[in-house]
Structure 1
Amino acid sequence: MTDLLDARLVVDRGTFRLDVHLRIAAGEVLALLGPNGAGKTTAMRALAGLEPLTAGHVRLGERELDRPDARVWTPTERRPIGVVFQDYLLFPHLSALDNVAFGPRRHGVDKRKARAEAADWLARVGLAEFAKRKPRQLSGGQAQRVALARALATHPELLLLDEPLAALDARTRLDTRVELQRHLAEHPGATLLVTHDPLDALVLADRLVVIEHGAVVQEGDAAAVTARPRTDYVARLVGLNLYRGHAADGGVRVADGLTLAVTDRVSGEAFVAFRPSAVAIFSERPEGSPRNVWQATVAGVQRHGDNLRVGLQGPIEAAADITPPAAAELGLTAGQRVWAAVKATETNAYPA
């Protein structure tokens, strides 16, 4: 698959440095994930021409948009890029129709044709009857769709989505995510989705790139990233306990006095991961089938879906998901000493 976007984004901001390489093919959706302060928004702004590059390049198709070392620079308004901002930034004094027509008008399309194109885009996003409404008269989901239509109306080669669902309530978010997935599937250009929400990324994107402290820490399709996280942030993102240690003789030493038995063949520096639901908690040391067992202290208990998530401290920190009846039987309280156990068959070990 040929890359439509090839960008190395280097931005120096005093103590912070962004240095990431992004490639996106035509018709592909790439999700850029990371914690707050990782550099996601800086990367998006650099692509849009709103943040100057210190070094690197932005190439879109055959066109070089930005290359500081060659003094190549393309102003934001001349880049074939559409942007949907987190707060949508619709023009409050314009109707939904004129908001969408704004892009084509800026590209030299006459008013009548631009408004006809805008009406077509509003129909595509299911808002034909809302054409005359001002942004303040729209719901959050409707405003998001107007912003998407406005971005797509210029037929961008690259579509940038900055936390496009973050401002929506849970129900609207669910419905809008389904709609957005459909529109992204129809978009012939490249799409970059900037988000901190793993569900948005897993549902909407073909590939994931995770950045921390301005650098890429992991990338790949959803299955690869979720199966083998490589940092604590990624592990939390996909809901896994993750440890790094030294593997030898069927075990991974993850802490002083604790070696986790694993079934995967691995040696040297390695990661070992397991789901919170794989962790069993006992009031006394369990006997019977071979397990990884260690003593821990309950750090806290909170509801997690239909179960309870128990935070455990000890030689390793871990999360365990147990049922409310099991928690009641154990009488779990903060500070309580318990035994934690994980079967070797429930672990996933892989090279670091």
Structure 2
Amino acid sequence: MTTDPNSPGVHPSPPGDPPPGRAVLDAHLVVDRGTFRLDLPLTIRPGEVVALLGPNGAGKTTALRAFAGLLPLTDGHLRLAGRHLDHPGRRIWTPTEQRPIGVVFQDYLLFPHLTALDNIAFGPRRQGLDRQRARQRAADWLARVGLADHARRKPRQLSGGQAQRVALARALAVEPALLLLDEPLAALDARTRLDTRAQLHHHLANHRGATLLVTHDPIDAVVLADRLVIIEDGQVVQEGDVATVTAQPRSDYVARLVGLNLYRGYADGHHVRLTDGFHLVTGDQHVGAVFVAFAPSAVALHPHRPDGSPRNTWPVTINGIQRHGDNLRVQLDGPVTVAADVTPAAAAQLQLAPGRTLWAAVKATETRVYPAAVAPTDAEP
């Protein structure tokens, strides 16, 4: 879609569709907001679902608003389906309503005065379809999401899961080149989220355009996305397929996301010196800057310093205890902070309580070691 060439500061975007197999979305978002800068390169191929994850303040919302046309780029470019939608260097900017983008907001933002059918028909009507054809397309989408008998209901008459499906149908009814999902399951209870996630996965699999899922929920990301992009402080810190990212986290945020203890250090054979001087013995041999990771279930807790095979032992103090599935996750302070998973029976035997001092032990064979990019703090001792 193009903008009015007579509008000041707005030039028409060049036409054309991407060649087969090429990215539907080719973007480098640079947005300055006070002291914060988002610098996000991103490409998405046809039919691909990419999850954008990061802690609060990482820049996820800024990226979403930039894609939707609610924030102009400071620099970089946004090219979608072969057309530049935003390119400050060429003075190109396309208004929100003229972008081939569908959005499912966290709170859905359905028009409260319209029926489910007319909510979905709104977008096609804006695209130029007459009332009858727009309503027919809306009815088709209601049937696809299993709500054909809810056409005359208004948003207040829908459950959370039903409202989410209407919002998804409304976004897809405009046949978008890019579908933006902003925490699409966050407003649902756990049971509804499980069912709706499965339905969403089905509809995303049939979407031929690009999909960007913005979420803080690792389960949503793992189940729905083909690829993960992790941002912190406005920068990409890690990206890749789910298996790669979960197996080899490269930041504390990602490690917490996938439930691993993660440390950065310098390896010399089987010994890794961590950045604060603490040493770990590992099963793998490496030389140079590395990450060391191990699961909380690999951490054994003892009332006294253990004898025997574990070569990694150190004193710890309990900082907190939380339920984690059928077990307890214990947060521990010491030479390095660490999380340990213990059974309720073991917790009772150890008399776990905040402030209690114990010994932690991790077998070298339970550790996972992989290379890290060299940073100034990784200089060899």
**TM class by shorter-chain length?**
over 0.9
Aligned to 1:86: 106
Shift of the alpha carbon at 1:249? 2.5
Supply the AA of the counterpart residue of 2:73.
Answer: L
Matches within 5 A, 1:225-244: 225-244=245-264
1:197: how far off? 0.4
> Does 1:295 find its partner at 2:315?
yes
Q: 2:211 aligns with which of 191, 198, 216?
A: 191
Q: SS of the counterpart of 1:168?
A: coil
Q: How many residues align?
A: 352
Shift of the 257–102 alpha-carbon distance from structure 1 to 2, 3 Å rule, reads closer
Tell me by how many angstroms 1:179 deviates: 0.3
Q: Secondary structure at the match of 2:256?
A: helix
Following superposition, the deviation at residue 291 of structure 1 comes to 2.9
Give the drift of 1:45. 1.0
Shift of 1:21: 0.4
Alignment of 1:194-205 (within 5 A): 194-205=214-225
Q: Which among 127, 144, 147 is matched to residue 107 of structure 1?
A: 127
Aligned pairs for 1:11-26 within 5 A: 11-26=31-46
**What displacement does 1:265 show?**
2.5
Q: Does 1:140 align with 2:160?
A: yes
Inter-partner Cα distance in structure 1 for 2:26 and 2:276: 45
Corresponding position of 2:69 = 49
Alignment-mate amino acid for residue 206 of structure 1: D
Q: Which residue of 2 aligns with 1:337?
A: 357
How far did 1:34 drift?
Answer: 0.4
Alpha-carbon separation, structure 2, partners of 1:108 and 1:194: 30
Tell me what 1:28 maps to.
48
Question: 2:239 aligns to what SS in structure 1?
Answer: strand
Q: Deviations over 1:83-121 (max 9, x none)?
A: 111110000000000000000000000001100110000
The question of whether the paired residues in 2 share the 8 Å contact of 1:258 and 1:294 is answered with no
What residue identity is the alignment partner of 2:320?
A: G
Residue of structure 2 in register with 1:252 after alignment = 272
Measure, in 1, the Cα distance between the counterparts of 2:310 and 2:341. 21
State yes or no: 1:180 paired with 2:210.
no
Quote the Cα distance in structure 1 between the aligned partners of 2:139 and 2:103.
Answer: 19
Among 320, 327, 336, the residue aligned to 1:316:
336
Residue deviations 1:6-34, cap 9 Å, x none?
Answer: 00000001111101001000000000000
Alpha carbons 1:207, 1:222 under 8 Å: kept: yes
Report the equivalent of 2:80: 60
1:2 to 19, 22, 27: 22
Instruction: Output one character per residue of 1:212-247: Cα deviation in whole Å (capped at 9) or x when no partner.
Output: 011100000011111111111111011000111111
CA distance in 2, matches of 1:256, 1:3: 43
Could you tell me which runs of 5 or more consecutive residues in structure 1 were left unpaired when the two chains were aligned.
Answer: none
Contact 1:255 1:315 in 2 (8 A): no
The superposition leaves residues 297-337 of structure 1 with CA deviations (integer Å, 9 ceiling, x where unpaired) of 11122211100111110000000000010111111111111
Alpha-carbon distance in structure 2 between the residues aligned to 1:221 and 1:289:
36
Deviations 1:140-198 (A, max 9, x none): 10000000000000100110000000010111000000000000000000000000000
Paired residue for 2:177?
157
Question: What letter is aligned with 2:337?
Answer: E
Q: Is contact 1:291–1:341 with CA below 8 Å preserved after alignment? A: yes
Deviation larger for 144-153 or 259-268: 259-268
TM-score under structure 2 length normalisation = 0.91
Does 290-299 or 50-59 show the bigger shift? 290-299
Kept after mapping to 1: 8 A contact 2:113/2:154 = yes
Residue of structure 2 in register with 1:276 after alignment: 296
- Runs of at least 5 residues in structure 2 that lack an aligned partner in the other structure: 1-20, 373-381
Alignment match, 2:327? 307
Match of 2:379 in 1: none
Q: Give 1:2 deviation, angstroms.
A: 1.9
What amino acid sits opposite 2:221 in the alignment? A
The alignment's TM-score, normalised by the length of structure 1, stands at: 0.98
Aligned match of 1:326 = 346
Are the equivalent residues in 2 in contact too, given 1:33–1:211 (CA < 8 A)? yes
1:224 match: secondary structure: helix
Cα distance in 2 for partners of 1:346, 1:118 equals 54
Q: Percent identity at matched positions?
A: 72
Please state how far the C-alpha of 1:74 moved relative to its aligned partner. Answer: 1.1
After the TM superposition, list the runs of 4 or more consecutive aligned residues in structure 1 that deviate by more than 2 angstroms.
255-258
Contact 2:29–2:77 (8 Å) recurs in 1? yes
Q: Is the 8 A contact 2:264 2:275 kept in 1?
A: no
Shift of 1:35: 0.7
RMSD: 1.0
